A = this chain, B = another copy of it.
């Protein structure tokens, strides 16, 4: 059985038209079953600014208010998702754009209110892998954005890295899965000079690089998601740049 490849593309790459196109051409050329998950990109921030929506933050983390959710749904599930679907169709892939609400594929729940209400942020609860497998069996290429729903009519905004990991782990119960994070660097770097990404990163190495403050910020949840996937049935987890789907490319593989 050919492994299903779950490929997550980051927001910054999506804002770079040429890199996005190169990446999509490589993705379209991938054989076997595959799932694309995409993030947001600068477009949502741009639209929020134009609409005069003030970002609400709590300790550096964003709160998703009513208007923020509307913008996220419009930009992620609308503009970006449909542009990517149309491009992939033009490249010969039978792409199908999806939120977690579509076909009830990803049910999430609103993050419980503790010291702060993060608003319409959703944590993944359940993935309908049977339905998703049916879509793959129809020859379709699912293209997910990070909008989910709670099953009671409410849309939610979920972290796209987490959605990719959750999809990979859930599908791993049915078939072999590989998870590939594509972002604006060639992989995880072991020093601040960033000449060449680490080829293999273990939990121990990760811990060390975090302590040295070499791995930090947004990389941390991405790598955490990657190890979570690897420890829960996903065969291979890779972090790389927009050329990662090329055989000769450099990248970082997470190892147990």
Contact = CB atoms under 8 A, between A and B. Distances in A.
Interface of A: 47, 50-51, 70, 73-79, 81-83, 85-87, 89-90, 94-97, 99, 101-104, 131, 134-135, 138, 140, 147, 149, 151-155
Contacts of A76: 78
B75 A151 contact: no
Task: Report the 10 A-B pairs with minimum CB-CB distance, sorted nearest first.
Answer: A78-B78, A74-B74, A90-B153, A74-B78, A86-B149, A86-B101, A77-B78, A85-B101, A96-B103, A96-B102
Given A78-B74, A99-B97, A102-B96, A89 B134 contact: no
Contacts of A75: 74, 78
Contact of A149 (B79, B89, B94, B99): B89
Contact of A152 (B73, B81, B90, B149): B90
Q: Taking the full assembly, how many copies of this chain does it contain? A: 2
A94 B135 CA distance: 13
Contact of A151 (B73, B90, B101, B102): B90
A54 to B, nearest CB: 15
B74 A79 contact: yes
Nearest to A97: B102
Contacts of A99: 82, 85, 97
Nearest to A84: B101
Among A95, A138, A151, A153, max chain B CB count under 10 A is at A153
A101 to B, nearest CB: 4
B101 A97 contact: yes
B97 A104 contact: no
Given A86-B149, A101-B86, A73 B77 contact: no
A61 to B, nearest CB: 24
Contacts of A155: 82-83, 86
Given A51-B50, A90-B152, A131-B138, A147 B103 contact: no
